[in-house]
Amino acid sequence: MLQPLPTPDEIAVWEKETISTIGIPGLTLMESASRQVVSILLEEYGQIDGANIFCFAGAGNNAGDTFAIARQLQDLGGNVIVFHSKNKKQYRGDTRKNLIWAHKLDVPFRHIGSSDLSRFGHPDIVIDGLLGTGFQGPLRKDFLELVQFINIQSQHAYILSVDLPSGLNGLTGLPDPEAVRATCTVTFEAPKLGLVFPEAQKYTGKIHVCGIGIPKSIQRLSPPRHYLISHEAMDNIPKSSPDIHKGKAGRILIIGGSLGLTGAPHLAAMGALRSGAGLVTIACPGGLMSEIKAGSPDIMIFPLGKGEHWTPGMAETLLENLSDYDAVVVGPGLGRAPKTVDFLKGFIAQCTAQTVLDADALFGISHFPEMLKDLTDSMILTPHPGEMATLMHTSIQHIQKDRLACSRQFVDRSNATLVLKGAGTLISNTTMTCLSPFAEPNLAVGGSGDVLSGIIASLVARDLNPFTAACTAVYWHGFTGRLLKNEFPARGNLATDIANRLPQAVKQHTKEFSSC
């Protein structure tokens, strides 16, 4: 269900071990990479005979790939010019060998620093091999000007980036401060982590992942920490046996609801029911139970007292009844009154159930940092960026600038699973992080997160471990959002639509991927 997403440092280890341990020459990997690029270019662009091709080579191994690409493109009839960023005599190792071979075949070379690029006319194709995965910004002024020059050519030329668009951070997927806007990117062995973030899409163009001969044994010995959730995640949804009954299909307790916030627990309950839970109960102040139930006979209510507010004593009542449930959701519409936070603190400190902590539960945790030590590996936190900023005592801008780093910082302090919602939702625990492949505007609606918390609880209640349940629920939720985009292309769908389309999403997903 997971596709490896190596960081630049991790892919460097794979290459080093392939060369030093297995003995496959770096020159062989470089030749394989260049041939893959040429193959993709012919597949995407078509025949290049007579095409004007600018190849930009930087200082690292990407330059060796570019020299090899230029040699092959000239053999195929392209009018090739290689623009290199450093003196030819300064290239070393395998990169220098490829430079020499291209030179012997009379491939034209021009040093970028001493060339007026404008006098060479307009290219039909640009090969961007300026900067590879090792780039850490910001771009130098001369490279920034080159990136800007390439982007101007994109108005009429096909831009192919080798491994990563130059200027794009391979770890965060962000430009620093600008990056090549490629028509397509050919990356090797596995997509680099930065390539798959939603923010990177306007720079990468179509991404092709091509093997270059790094053995799978090397990849297994040095596994990456980050993965992309694939369509196979849906295979984790528990199958129902013919003799299943409601008590064995997952018993969910949702703790939430307060004055003015009665819809949130109801939506979480619908998310749990629509994703297959057998029994769903909402625990709430007794005075709010009619509003929260909202006329739905499918949802049961556990009324606590007769008033409309949470009190610390309610925690003990719920703890005494936890054995009746397979999973718990805490927080949707819970409210933020001081007594509510006191209730929450008492409940979490003694809760032993598989628990999803969402919405106002996260607010309570943020005000009592010592509660982090009470979070166990059976708990899942589901903040959106604003809630994550509150948890981390920072700004939303800081969270969004490097969501990955913020996720890692949090799980380093807690044993819980973290689901950082948003475009490209991140799921992290102490050992790994997974990235959702979805960035769906139709999910950006109030109550969407409540539905997600219900899905997670439903899966946990049916014996998926917290991390797998979170990854599966996020994928299911995201795929449903993609379906809604077809039905509501200008958005306008409701959170209830997300919940109600969950069963159809499974059916559609099976139809689309049954032949895979």
Q: Return the pLDDT at 374.
A: 80
Taking only the tens of pLDDT, the chain with its 516 residues reads: 899 999 999 999 999 999 999 999 999 999 999 999 999 999 999 999 999 999 999 988 899 999 999 999 999 999 999 999 999 999 999 999 999 999 999 999 999 987 889 899 999 999 999 998 889 889 999 999 999 999 999 999 999 999 999 999 999 999 999 999 999 999 999 999 999 999 999 999 999 999 999 999 999 999 999 999 999 999 999 998 888 999 989 999 999 999 999 999 999 999 999 999 999 999 999 999 999 999 999 999 999 999 999 999 999 999 999 999 999 999 999 999 999 999 999 999 999 999 999 999 999 999 888 888 889 999 999 999 999 999 999 999 999 989 999 999 999 989 999 999 999 999 999 999 999 999 999 999 999 999 999 999 999 999 999 999 999 999 999 999 999 999 999 999 999 999 999 999 999 999 999 765
**Residue whose structure tokens are 């007794």:** 286
**Residue whose structure tokens are 């623009």:** 83
Judge whether 87 is annotated as a binding position.
Answer: no
Judge whether 204 is annotated as a binding position.
Answer: no
Q: Return the pLDDT at 516.
A: 53
Q: Which residues 6+ apart lie within 8 Å of 377 measured at CB?
A: 415, 416, 417, 429, 466
Strand 426-428 and strand 433-435: the pairing is antiparallel
Order of all β-strands in the sheet with 206-210? 109-111, 79-84, 52-57, 125-129, 158-162, 184-188, 206-210
Tell me which CATH code domain 2-224 carries: 3.40.50.10260
Yes or no: is domain 241-513 CATH 3.90.76.10? no
Peptide bond into 223 cis (omega under 30): no
Show me where the domains of the chain are located. 2-224, 241-513
Q: Is 252 helix (H, G, I), strand (E, B) or coil?
A: strand
Question: What's phi and psi for 179, nearest 5 deg?
Answer: -145, 155
Q: Return the pLDDT at 61.
A: 86
CB 271 within 8 A of CB 458: yes
pLDDT in tens, 352-388: 999 999 999 999 999 888 888 889 999 999 999 999 9
Question: What's phi and psi for 411, nearest 5 deg?
Answer: -70, -20
Q: Return the pLDDT at 459.
A: 98
Strand 226-229 and strand 2-4: the pairing is antiparallel
Q: Return the pLDDT at 116.
A: 87
Judge whether 134 is annotated as a binding position.
Answer: yes
Strand 379-381 and strand 417-420: the pairing is parallel
Single-letter code of the amino acid located at 55? C
The beta strand positions in 417-490, using DSSP E, are 417-420, 426-428, 433-435
Q: Return the pLDDT at 515.
A: 62
Q: Return the pLDDT at 217.
A: 96
Judge whether 264 is annotated as a binding position.
Answer: yes
Judge whether 425 is annotated as a binding position.
Answer: yes
Judge whether 61 is annotated as a binding position.
Answer: no
Judge whether 478 is annotated as a binding position.
Answer: no
Judge whether 449 is annotated as a binding position.
Answer: yes
Single-letter code of the amino acid located at 515? S
Judge whether 333 is annotated as a binding position.
Answer: yes
User: 118-132 in b/e burial notation, b at 16+ Cβ within 10 A?
Assistant: eeeeebbbbbbbbbb
Judge whether 505 is annotated as a binding position.
Answer: no
Judge whether 163 is annotated as a binding position.
Answer: yes
Its pTM stands at 0.93
Q: Return the pLDDT at 115.
A: 80
Single-letter code of the amino acid located at 357? L
Judge whether 133 is annotated as a binding position.
Answer: yes
**What's the CA gap between 203 and 175, in Å, rounded?**
9
DSSP state letter for 18: I
**What's the CA gap between 459 and 229, in Å, rounded?**
16
Judge whether 412 is annotated as a binding position.
Answer: no
Single-letter code of the amino acid located at 347? F
What is the sign of the dihedral through the CA atoms of 75, 76, 78 and 84? Answer: negative
